[in-house]
Amino acid sequence: MKSAPVLVLYSVSQLARELGVTARAIRFYEDKGLITPQRAGSARVYGARDRARLMLILRGKRLGFSLREIREFLDLYDADPAHRVQTRQLQQAVRQRLAALREQRAAIEESLAELGEIDRQCEAALAETMG
């Protein structure tokens, strides 16, 4: 006899603790319609789907995607069972993000070099005035 799958539910505090975010952050994503907890009496309970979506949201935010972009990825996931459209759009967004980060890295490296040169010039000027 096959047993039914176990349904795991999380309270907001359990989910927050597990994912390393605040309960307020989870409620924010709920207010934005990115996750939809169930109700157990007056308490909100979050299932495996909410947990998975939250993990994707947090990863997307960490990688610099906007909530609008994250919502589009999540909506595509629900609408496209084969996930082909979602994967194509995700790849395009990832490539754009990679290009933007590479540009930022180049700008940072340029700033570091310029600041390093200014620091050397200041050091030289200070050495001249002391000697």
Q: How far apart are CA 77 and CA 30, in angstroms?
A: 18
Radius of gyration (C-alpha) of the chain in whole angstroms: 24
**pLDDT per residue as tens digits for the range 6-51:** 678 999 999 999 999 999 999 999 999 999 999 888 888 999 989 9
Looking at the structure, tell me whether residues 9 and 58 fall in a common domain.
Answer: yes
Could you list the residue range(s) of the whole structural domain that residue 94 is in? 80-131
Verify that 3 and 53 share a domain, yes or no.
yes
86/46 same-domain check: no
Q: Is 102 found in the same domain as 53? A: no
The tens digit of pLDDT for each residue in 104-129 reads 999 999 999 999 999 999 999 999 98
pLDDT at 107: 97
State how far the alpha carbon of 127 is from the alpha carbons of 38, 115, 117, 119, in Å: 69, 18, 15, 12
Residue 39 belongs to a domain with what CATH number? 1.10.1660.10
Cα-to-chain-centroid distance, residue 33: 16
